[in-house]
């Protein structure tokens, strides 16, 4: 087998390119792995723990009700880490494809804003299923606000507060046990159901409903292409699984044909 540029067999790269080229609609589902090479820690891989806490234990309404200071301290740390990160070659290639091609849409579980940072046009904006690290939402009046500031989590009194009503603000992200915004989820379901190809990049595919989107494409007769450094529950049913880092493989399978 001839390896391609990313070390993936050439035949698999060519097949992915052909499937992506032939599909009228492509939906891309990304997870933390697409940002790994930008320096954003994934949730479940090495470095996924923060001070011994698992994401599942902190990213919950109960954890916030019990100890808002601890949860904000974690989000403040994540903001600081992510603010220093820039989009990598995978974000850039995906944004270019979404700008250049009708019917190419990005849906992300990530709250790091790196797809948005790579986007040069409104079409390239990702649908953010789980919200954003850089937005707060009031726990009383629900007002949302963009907020990239450092978080002072030294005491509950100093935590971010709503500028309208003064109540405690929370990160505007979807936590375990909470529902996704129905409009956002509805749009993602529609995109996945209509797609000829669902390209799944860097997700452990363990968190639903996001993980179920690829199955919608498959059950409607479309193909699933997975890019990941490891196997996931989706691997067995995928048309094609390309093993390796997203920043190397994504640009290779999306490069314009003229560059071959
Ligand atoms: P995970 O941390 O669960 O999974 C990251 C995936 O990326 C794993 O399958 C890795 O093998 C893969 N990976 C790591 N480095 C990679 C690389 N360089 N290139 C390609 N793949 C790579 O993250 P998610 O699947 O995004 O939810 O997690 C899903 C949700 O669970 C998150 O949105 C978050 C989390 O808890 C909430 O906070 C609600």
Q: What is the pLDDT of residue 6?
A: 64
Q: Which residues belong to the active site?
A: 130
Residue count of the chain, please give it.
260
Same domain, 66 and 91: no
Q: Which of 202, 206, 251 to mutate to test ligand 1, by most ligand atoms within 8 A of the CB atom? A: 202
Same domain, 94 and 217: yes
Same domain, 35 and 45: no
Report how far residue 60's alpha carbon sits from residue 176's, in angstroms, rounded to the nearest whole number: 5
Same domain, 228 and 185: yes
Is the pLDDT confidence value at 19 over 70? yes
Same domain, 27 and 154: no
Tens of pLDDT, residues 29-56? 999 999 999 999 998 877 777 888 888 8
Same domain, 109 and 225: yes
Q: What is the pTM of this model?
A: 0.95
Same domain, 139 and 48: yes
Same domain, 247 and 200: yes
Domain membership of residue 154 as a residue range: 41-84+133-173
Same domain, 200 and 253: yes
27, 30, 31: which is closest to 220 by C-alpha?
Answer: 27
What is the count of structural domains for the chain?
A: 2
Q: Which of 30, 35, 38, 45 to mutate to test ligand 1, by most ligand atoms within 8 A of the CB atom? A: 45
Same domain, 91 and 74: no
**Distance of CA 210 from the midpoint of ligand 1 (Å):** 12
DSSP SS3 for 19: helix
Question: Where residue 97 sits, what CATH number does that domain have?
Answer: 3.40.50.1220
Sheet with 104-108, side-by-side order of all strands: 127-128, 104-108, 26-30, 197-201, 223-228, 240-243
Q: What is the pLDDT of residue 44?
A: 84
**Distance of CA 81 from the midpoint of ligand 1 (Å):** 16
Same domain, 184 and 60: no
Question: Where residue 52 sits, what CATH number does that domain have?
Answer: 3.30.1600.10
Q: Is residue 159 within 8 Å of 72, Cβ to Cβ?
A: yes
**Distance of CA 36 from the midpoint of ligand 1 (Å):** 9
Q: Cβ < 6 Å from ligand 1: which residues?
A: 31-33, 36-37, 42-45, 48, 55, 59, 109, 130, 174-176, 202-204, 206-207, 227-230, 232, 245-246
Q: What is the pLDDT of residue 258?
A: 46
Tens of pLDDT, residues 225-246? 999 999 999 999 999 999 999 9
Ligand 1, atom 2, residue with closest C-alpha: 43
> What DSSP string runs through 172-234?
EEPPTTSPPPHHHHHHHHHHHHH-SEEEEES----STTGGGHHHHHHHTT-EEEEEESS--TT
Final residue in a domain of this structure, among 173, 203, 224: 173
Same domain, 63 and 100: no
Hey, which bits of the chain come out as E strands? 26-30, 104-108, 127-128, 131-138, 144-146, 169-173, 197-201, 223-228, 240-243
**Distance of CA 44 from the midpoint of ligand 1 (Å):** 7
């Amino acid at each position: 087998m001839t390896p391609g540029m990313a070390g993936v067999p050439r035949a698999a790269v060519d097949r992915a390119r052909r499937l992506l080229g032939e599909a009228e609609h492509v939906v891309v589902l990304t997870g933390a792995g697409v940002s790994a090479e930008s320096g954003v820690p994934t949730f479940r891989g090495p470095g996924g723990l923060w001070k011994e806490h698992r994401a599942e234990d902190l990213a919950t309404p109960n954890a916030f009700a019990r100890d808002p200071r601890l949860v904000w301290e974690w989000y403040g740390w994540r903001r600081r880490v992510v603010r220093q990160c820039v989009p990598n070659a995978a974000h850039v290639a995906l944004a270019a494809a979404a700008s250049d091609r009708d019917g190419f849409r990005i849906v992300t579980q990530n709250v790091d804003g790196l797809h948005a940072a790579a986007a040069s046009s409104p079409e390239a904006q990702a649908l953010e299923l789980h919200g954003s690290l850089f937005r707060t939402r009031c726990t009383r009046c629900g007002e949302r606000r963009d907020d990239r500031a450092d978080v002072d989590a030294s005491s509950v009194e100093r935590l971010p507060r709503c500028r309208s009503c003064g109540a405690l603000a929370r990160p505007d992200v979807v936590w375990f046990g909470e529902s996704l915004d129905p409009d956002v989820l509805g749009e993602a379901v529609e995109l996945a159901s209509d797609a000829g190809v669902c390209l799944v990049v860097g997700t452990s595919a363990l968190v639903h409903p996001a993980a179920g989107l690829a199955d919608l494409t498959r059950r409607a007769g479309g193909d699933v292409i997975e890019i990941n450094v490891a196997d996931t529950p989706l691997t067995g049913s995928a048309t094609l699984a390309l093993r390796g880092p997203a920043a190397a493989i994504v640009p290779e399978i999306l490069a314009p044909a003229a560059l071959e």
